[in-house]
Structure 1
Amino acid sequence: MKKPQPKIPYVTWRNGRPRFEPSKTLRDRGYKGKDLRNEDDGNWMTAGQALDWSQEFTREIEAEQREQARAKARVPMEKPQRIVPVLPTYPLEQLWKDWLTPEKNPAIADISPKTRYEYRRNGDVIARQMPDVWAAEAAALTKPICLGMYDRIRTNSGLAEAVNTMRRLGTALQWAMDRGKLPEMLINPAHKLRMKTPPSRIRAGTPAEIEQMVKVADAIGLPEIADMIVLGVWTGQRQNDRRQFTFLGRERGRVNFRQMKTKAIVSIPEAPELTNRIKAMQERRKRAEVVSPHVVLDERDWSQFDTFSYYKRYTLVKAAATSGLPAKGHRKEIKPMPSCSTLRDQDLRDTAVTWLARAGCTIPEICAITGHTFNSANEILKHYLAMHPELADNAMRKMVSWHEAGGAESYQ
C-alpha cells in the first residue's frame, strides 16, 4: 500500500518527491514553480526539510505583504472623480414642446387642433428616426445637419413627409430665434434647403363615385356621413368647417350656415341634392326628439363629430363602397366600385371646384361658393384642364357666340 504524503503549504508531491507549484496570484507576482532539492548536495528534500522550507517561504510572503500595506498607507489614494455628463441646456425636444405649448407660444392656440396634432407628429418623425438629434442641443443644428435630416426622412418616409417635417423644423427654430432662446444661431439652418416640392395631390370624385358613397352610407346606417359627403361636394367647404357648421336657415333660394371658429356666414345657393339631404336630416332629428343648431351630428349619440371619430366612420363607408354590399332584406345589391378606395374626404373640396368648372363657372364664381383663393382654385383646375377637353370646347363656343353677337365692335 502506497504511503500517503504529508500536506505541506506550497508543496506538492510527485512520485514521493516535493515540488513548489505557485498559485495564480503568486505567478502574477513573479514566482515560478521548482523542484525542492537541498542546495548543498542537490538531493531531494525530505518531508521535514520541505516543511522547514514551507514555513520560511510563508514568513517571506507575509513580510512582503506587510511592506506593500505600509507603502500603500504612505501614498494617499486618489478618489475617482465622478464623471457628470453635460446635458444640453436647450435640446430640440424641449424647443419643440415649448413651441407647441400655448402658455409659452400663445400664437399656437390660433391654429386648429388638427394642425397642432400634425406638428406634433412631425416632431415624432424626428424623434423616431434621429433620436440623437432630438436629444441634442438645438443650437448645434447646422445647414449640413438639416440637409442630412431631410435626406434621411425622404429615404425612410417619402418626399412629402420630409418636406413637411423640415418646414415645421424651420418654423420652430425661427420661433425660438426670434425670442432669444438660441442667441448663438444667427441664420436659420432649416431654411433655404432647396427641397424638392412634392406633387400636389388633386383628386376629384366622379358623379358615379359620389352617388356610390352616399348610397352605401345610407345603406349601412350612416346617413350623417352621406350628409357630410353631399355638403362637401355641394358647398366646397373643408371637413372641419362642415363638422362644425350651425344652420341659420334659408333665405331667397340660399341656405345659410355659420362657421363656429371664425363665426363667418357661409351662404350657398340651394341645390336639390343639398336641400333633400337637409330635409331628411331634420326629419331624423325630429323623430329622435333632438334639437341642435349643428348641421351634422354623430347620430349614435347625437353629439358633434371629432376628427378621429369622423375619419373612422368615413373610412368604413369608403371600404363598403369599394367592395360593394350584398342584397339584404329590402336592400338591393350594391356592386363594387374599386375607384372609391382612393377617394378621401379632402377630395370632396377638389370635386366641388372641378364640377363647377365643368359646368362652365368662372374662377371668381367658383371661389365665391367654395371659399378658395384664386391661386388654389387655379392649381386644382390646371390639373384637370388637359383631362377634360370639354372645358376648352365650352370656352371656344362662348368666344364664338361673343364674336358673332358683335363683340368685336367693342374694340372700335
Structure 2
Amino acid sequence: MLKPIAWSGLSANAREALFAPAPSLVDAESAAVEIVEGVRRGGDAALRSYARQFDGYTRDRFRVPNEALRSAEAGLDRADADALQSAIGAVQQFHQAQGFPEIRVETWPGLVARRKTVPIGTVGLYVPAGSAPLVSTLIMLAVPAQIAGVPRIAVVVPPAPDGTVNSAVLAAASLLGLTEIYAIGGAQAIAGLAFGAGELPRADKIFGPGNAWVAAAKAYVSRLQGGPAIDLPAGPSEVMVVADVTAEPEFVAADLLAQAEHDPMARVVLVSRGTDLDAIAAACETQLAGLPRRSIASQAMANAICITTASDDEVLGAIEAAAPEHLILQTANASELAECVRNSGSIFVGAWTPESAGDYAAGPNHTLPTGRAARAYGGVTVEAFQKTVTIMEASPEGARNIAPAVERLAALEGLEGHAAAMRLRRERAGS
C-alpha cells in the first residue's frame, strides 16, 4: 500500500512526473467537452437528455420546490441542526473579515481615483452529492457569496436515483435562506449554468468542487468566449501528510484515509521524515477494514504515493512540487514548517488538527485548488464573489496637472487621438 520513494533519488523530471494528472483525468476532459458542446447546440432538450442519461432524472422541472426545502429543515434532527448552525457560524465569523476594501486616492492635485467593490450578479454553486452529499460544501460556498452581497445564488446538486435531492443538503439550504436549488449534477449542470439552459440561470461565475468531469467542464466553459468565470481548478481531492518520528501512526493513517474515501481518483501522498512506515501501513489496513466506503478508499490508496526525505529542505521541496490541496503537518516543528510553505491550498498544523476539522467547522474555506493549481491559486474567499470597479474624476485643475504626462506618453506611443482628447481639456481649462 505504501511503497517508499526516496526524494533525493529522483531527477527533476521524475519529481514533476510524480504529481502529473492521472490518465483518467485526460479522458474525463474529452467527455466533459462533448457534453458541454451538446448543451450549447441543443439547449434545454440536450440538457434534459443528459440528465436522463447520467442522473436518471425524468421529472418535468429541475428546480426543487420551496416546500421541499421547508420540509427538509423541519425534519432535521435537532442535534444535526445545531451542528450545521455551529459550522455556519464559524464560517461566517472567519469570512466576515474578508472582502475588497474601497480605495480613494488623489493621484494628482484635482484628480481623484477610486475603487469601489460590487458583488458578482449571478453565481452558480456546484454541491457534489453523487456518492456523498457534501452539505459542508454548500455552507462553504453560500456563506461568502451572501457576505459579498451576491443578488442571485443558484445551487446545483446531483439528484438521487429517485430524482430527489438529499434532504440534509436541502435542510442546510433552508437554514442558509437559499431558495434556488436545482436537481442536476455532472458536466451537464456546469453546461446548464454556462448557457442558461433548462430553467437554470446563466451564471456570471461558477463555484464548487467536483469529480474529474465537473472540473473539466468548468475549465472548458471558462475558456469560451462570453463564458462564465470559475473560482479555481477544483477536481478530485488531494492530501499530503508530512510525518516525522513524533507522528502517531494511527493519526497519519486516519488522515490519509479521510481523503481516500472521497473518490477513487483522490490523490493521497505521505511524506516521511524517518517515521515508522510499517506501523502506518498496518494502521491503514486496520482502519480501512472498518470504513463503509472502503471500496472507494482502497482504490485511492492503491495509487498512494509515499516519499521518504532526509531533511526539512527535501520535505519543503516535495511540498512545493506537489502544491497539495490539503497539507497536514504531523512533525515536531510543524508550526515553523508551515511558515515556510508557499504552495498549498490549506495547511493543518500539528497532531491535533485533522483536515476534517477544516472540511466542516474550523472556519476557513474548504473549496481549494487541486492539480498543483495552488502554485497560483488560493481557496475560495469573499473576494472571489466580488469585483472591483475603478472610478476617476478630474476637476479643471486636475486636467491641467495630468495633461503634460498624458500628452507626452500618448506621443511616445504614436496615438495622437489620445493626446488630443487630453490636450483639448487642458486648453479649455486655461493652460
User: TM-score, normalized by length of structure 2?
Assistant: 0.22
Give the structure with the higher percent strand.
Answer: 2
Greater relative contact order (Cα 8 A, min sep 6): structure 1 or 2? 2
User: TM-score, normalized by length of structure 1?
Assistant: 0.22
Give the structure with the higher percent helix.
Answer: 1
